[in-house]
Structure 1
Amino acid sequence: MIRKRPNDRSTNRQQRSTLFQKCTNLRALKQVHASMVVHGFNSNHSALGELIFASAMVISGTIGYAHKLFDHITEPNTFMWNTMIRGSAQSLKPLNAVVLYTQMEKRGSRPDDFTFPFILKACTKLCWVKMGMGIHGKVMRFGFQSNASVRNTLIDFHAKCGDLRVATALFDGSAKRDVVAWSALTAGYARRGKLDAARRLFDEMPVKDLVSWNVMITGYTKQGEMESARKLFDEVPRRDVVTWNAMIAGYVRCGFIEQALQMFEEMTSLGEKPDEVTMLSLLSACADIGELEIGERIHSSLLEMGSGEISIIHGNALIDMYSKCGSIERAIEVFQGMREKDVSSWNSVIGGLAFHGHAEESVNLFEEMRRLKVRPDGITFVGVLVACSHAGKVEDGRGYFSLMRNEYKIKPNIKHYGCMVDLLGRAGLLDEAFDCIGNMEMQPNAIVWRTLLGACKVHGNVELGRRANERLLDIRGDESGDFVLLSNIYASRGEWHGAEEVRKLMDDIGVKKEPGFSIVEADDSALKHFCFYSKSKSNRGC
């Protein structure tokens, strides 16, 4: 008897049984999984398909569990492969989608016209041009090039990271009747900074959907052309949260913080509910301008939106915001309350503690990080070295610098060397600091030499100060502060002739000392322009 091959496309539409409806969270998923193990895990392909779909596509944050389930399926069908590739492509680790597709080929499972759009999206996110080109060849071999979904994904891939000429060639013909193809090609030109070409396509579109408007607005904001973005924003027939987020993020990116908050006020006044992306942009704005009160309100809102839980990405943004606003206690509180943490979470709080002078706590937290087997990265060691520098822990700093290179195989960058020069300079080990600069694997920048020059001023080392100043002159000879600092070193040692010579050199090469000034915050306009979207909470209005 010939067994009929299941129709995966039909399965995709019909996989909605009682079993699937039970899988609403990870706990329920595990219960269903346990039940299936008892009755024979691989005995029911239909139920397996539903379980994979629920874990990979429906329940948030369970793609890792889906991979563990999938590894125990002896004969996955095309629907299961497609579901896993799709879920992986949409996750934070799209590389897993490529790995799955490779395994699919090796195990002899035939891809269909659903497989290729998912794997192409992963290649686009990874910007893997060679792999994407190979997938294009497979599309041609299997005869799916005329499929609208496959063709549009190919256009999107080539437009964003492949060959624009290929994308344009694919766009000719029947694709010109498809608004998705128009949007894909427009997005590709916009992403590559070719806004004039993108705008021409946008203007020629026979029908413009909201995606195409958002693509063009986002393209302008990412290039910093906020006036053009605002003009299109005012013209768009209908807006969604993506439209508003593009403008808010654009203003924040360009440093127009007040405009970002005004845009948020306008958004909420028109009844558009912000999402987590909105809040991330606003937290960045608060961190930039030190607006603690607004940041606290956003924190409260995120707790409400997440039913009391904060995601990793928002937890990290909150730690950064509280640290930059001077509330390191709240930053630590957020960190300790996070159910899940990544290396960025640790980096944010270690760096925050270090820069606020809590060196001992910063180093202790790093040691706890190591005990928990969380692998540090280069940013982690910047925070640790800053902590050692501020606390005068020279031996510890040397040890951590060596640990970074030898145990974790992290190649030091200019920031690490700058921290070491600062550490040694503060301790008065100026010769060792000078040697450290000489042993750098890259050209030292002005900040490194200026750090050493400042240390020479503190410790009154005229000779090394003069040598550091000479290096600064080679890099940039018009910085008046460097000359003044060297002049002050001479003066502090009573070497008035040397100080006069420096002042004369400034006059000879035309360097003028800039007058000092202070900054006074004029008003609380940023706070005035912040209105919270939860109108039911009267105490949270403006």
Structure 2
Amino acid sequence: MGSSKPISPFRLSSLLRSQKDPSLAFQIFLNPQNHYRYSILSYDLIITKLGRAKMIPQMELILQQLHNDTRHRVPEPLLCHVISFYARARLPSRAVQTFLSIPSFRCTPTLKSFNSLLNALLTCRRFQTITHFASRLSEFGPPNTCTYNILIRSCFFQGRTDRALELFDEMRRTNVCPDQVTFGTLIHGLCKDSRMHQAFGMKKLMIQEFKLKPCVSVYTNLMKGVCEIGELHRAFEIKDEMERNGLRLDVVVYNTLVNALFKAGRKEEALRVLEEMKESGYHWNSVTCNVMIGEFCRQKNFQEAYRILDGVEGVKPDVFGYNVVIGWLCKVGKWSEANDLVQDMPRRKCVPDVVTYRTLFDGLCRWTQFREAAIVLDEMLFKGYVPHTKSLNEFVCGLCREGNFELLSTVLSGLASRGEFCNEGIWNVLVSVVCKQEKLAAEPFKIFKALAVS
């Protein structure tokens, strides 16, 4: 039986483009029976498919083959994509290695790949490495708008607002024109830092000097900022300005207003905004549900909160909404209902997270339900979660106060078996009981001695 007819580079590219499954595309690309010559386009297609699917080992295999295929001078944008795929996979060191190896791919690195590396490091929050490479910026030419946008964003992530503003001033001095992203980043950072006067000044500069129109997200950040400082009248002024400028209000704007109004005790106005939201064609999302759940819980109206958890508005709340209800139930002493709700979450297709377990554990301890708390603690540890150190210390202290040393021994043995018994606070509690509570000293001393030996 003769060998199959070789597939042309064009045909290979067509096959790769049409194949939705990255694993099958990988098999097609490496099929040894086809004997085709690979084109840059086919390399680009398969690397992109594998990178987007986070199939990093397979992508690296193709990348090594491309590296060794000396017929091709690899285009810089392809390597920029590889750097971004490493960022998405949270592999910053490999992103750096790829950037440094660009010359070995018969390609000259430019500001484009340098910016890709900076952005990858920002995605992975490697701020020190950003600083290191930023010192080499002159090797790749003067910074452009993209470079400054990345560096400014990095500063805000680190809480260095003043340095971000210095970079913006540097942009203007060197005639690098800021864009929508620049102003959006600056305004967002200033609002997060509650520097609202400067944020509004930046919006004015954006419009008057650079003739850029603020987008919905700029207005939303300003609205969130003024709501945080309790200036709701300015939030409505922003809403009016958006409507005058022909910007369609989105669900984030409405959620921001509703949440702020409820927190300020202006329930009727909040309900009117919700009605306006509905009339504008927007449906509730998980954030809207969480806002309403929070309000009903503040009113101790748990039946309405449960109604929203049941998806009555056509959308299921996320785990945040459940955690709010659980927290409030624990706060008012309904710890049994909180426990039942946590147990029911998987049936409701919502997976409890570390906050869920910590909230329930804290609530059970607060109401001295230590046996139930021990069960929750065991489930937490099994799932890889740990309670707050303060909560764990209070739990141990509570068991000691009750003299429930049998349960204490079981709990501490479980902690020790999982490598979690390394808390100085727990030792201090045990030592305190041994030294001060003479009537109860025998049992805790046995536990203390056994764990010290282990």
Question: Under TM normalisation by the shorter chain, which class is it?
Answer: 0.5 to 0.7
> Which residue of 408, 412, 415 maps to 2:420?
408
> Which residue of 205, 208, 218 maps to 1:212?
218
> Which residue of 230, 235, 239 maps to 1:233?
239
Aligned pairs for 1:8-407 (under 5 A) are 19=16, 23=20, 28-29=21-22, 32=25, 45-55=43-53, 65-67=54-56, 69-70=58-59, 72-75=61-64, 82-83=80-81, 85-86=83-84, 96=90, 98-105=92-99, 107-108=101-102, 113=111, 115-117=113-115, 119-121=117-119, 129-143=127-141, 145-146=143-144, 148-158=145-155, 161=158, 162=160, 163=163, 164-172=165-173, 174-176=175-177, 178-206=179-207, 207-210=212-215, 211-237=217-243, 238=247, 239-248=249-258, 250=260, 256=265, 258=267, 263-301=273-311, 305=315, 314-322=318-326, 324-325=328-329, 326=334, 327-328=337-338, 329-335=340-346, 338=349, 342-351=353-362, 359-371=370-382, 374-379=383-388, 382=391, 386=395, 389=398, 393-394=404-405, 396-397=407-408, 400=411, 407=419
In the other structure, the counterpart of 2:3 is none
Q: Distance in 1 between matches of 2:398 and 2:197?
A: 49
Q: How big is each residue's C-alpha offset from its partner over 1:484-520, in whole Å with a ceiling of 9 and x where there is no partner?
A: xxxxxxxxxxxxxxxxxxxxxxxxxxxxxxxxxxxxx
Q: How big is each residue's C-alpha offset from its partner over 1:396-428, in whole Å with a ceiling of 9 and x where there is no partner?
A: 447756976993376567xx899x69x97xx98
The CA deviation at 1:334 is: 0.7
Q: How big is each residue's C-alpha offset from its partner over 1:63-111, in whole Å with a ceiling of 9 and x where there is no partner?
A: xx4445545544377656544654675x6x8xx2533422324544665
Q: Which deviates further from its counterpart, 128-137 or 377-386?
A: 377-386
Coordinate RMSD, CA, aligned: 4.9
Aligned pairs for 1:375-524 (under 5 A) are 375-379=384-388, 382=391, 386=395, 389=398, 393-394=404-405, 396-397=407-408, 400=411, 407-408=419-420, 411=423
When residues 141 and 400 of structure 1 are mapped into structure 2, their CA distance, relative to the original with a 3 A threshold, is: farther
Q: Distance in 1 between matches of 2:293 and 2:115?
A: 35
When residues 401 and 330 of structure 1 are mapped into structure 2, their CA distance, relative to the original with a 3 A threshold, is: same
Q: Which deviates further from its counterpart, 190-199 or 70-79?
A: 70-79
Q: Distance in 1 between matches of 2:100 and 2:220?
A: 40
- Contact 2:289–2:308 under 8 Å retained in 1: yes
- TM-score w.r.t. the length of structure 2 is 0.64
Q: AA paired with 2:419?
A: E
Q: Distance in 2 between matches of 1:179 and 1:296?
A: 42
Q: Distance in 1 between matches of 2:234 and 2:241?
A: 11
Q: Distance in 2 between matches of 1:67 and 1:251?
A: 47
What percent identity do the matched residue pairs reach? 14
Q: Distance in 1 between matches of 2:255 and 2:121?
A: 25
The CA deviation at 1:333 is: 0.8
When residues 359 and 31 of structure 1 are mapped into structure 2, their CA distance, relative to the original with a 3 A threshold, is: farther
When residues 367 and 80 of structure 1 are mapped into structure 2, their CA distance, relative to the original with a 3 A threshold, is: farther
- Contact 2:44–2:78 under 8 Å retained in 1: no
The CA deviation at 1:145 is: 1.1
- Contact 1:381–1:400 under 8 Å retained in 2: no
Q: How big is each residue's C-alpha offset from its partner over 1:444-472, in whole Å with a ceiling of 9 and x where there is no partner?
A: xxxxxxxxxxxxxxxxxxxxxxxxxxxxx
Q: Distance in 2 between matches of 1:403 and 1:264?
A: 49
Q: Distance in 1 between matches of 2:327 and 2:183?
A: 44
When residues 289 and 216 of structure 1 are mapped into structure 2, their CA distance, relative to the original with a 3 A threshold, is: same
Q: Distance in 2 between matches of 1:66 and 1:35?
A: 15
Q: Which deviates further from its counterpart, 263-272 or 276-285?
A: 276-285
Question: Which of structures 1 and 2 has the larger relative contact order (alpha carbons within 8 angstroms, sep 6+)?
Answer: 1
- Contact 1:299–1:318 under 8 Å retained in 2: yes
- Contact 2:187–2:218 under 8 Å retained in 1: yes
When residues 187 and 393 of structure 1 are mapped into structure 2, their CA distance, relative to the original with a 3 A threshold, is: same
Q: Distance in 2 between matches of 1:21 and 1:281?
A: 44
**For structure 1, which runs of at least 5 residues remain unmatched after alignment?**
1-15, 56-64, 433-542
**For structure 2, which runs of at least 5 residues remain unmatched after alignment?**
1-12, 67-73, 442-454
The CA deviation at 1:205 is: 2.4
Q: AA paired with 2:224?
A: T
- TM-score w.r.t. the length of structure 1 is 0.56
Q: AA paired with 2:153?
A: D
Q: Distance in 2 between matches of 1:429 and 1:257?
A: 56
- Contact 2:96–2:117 under 8 Å retained in 1: no
- Contact 2:148–2:167 under 8 Å retained in 1: no
The CA deviation at 1:279 is: 3.7
Q: AA paired with 2:354?
A: V
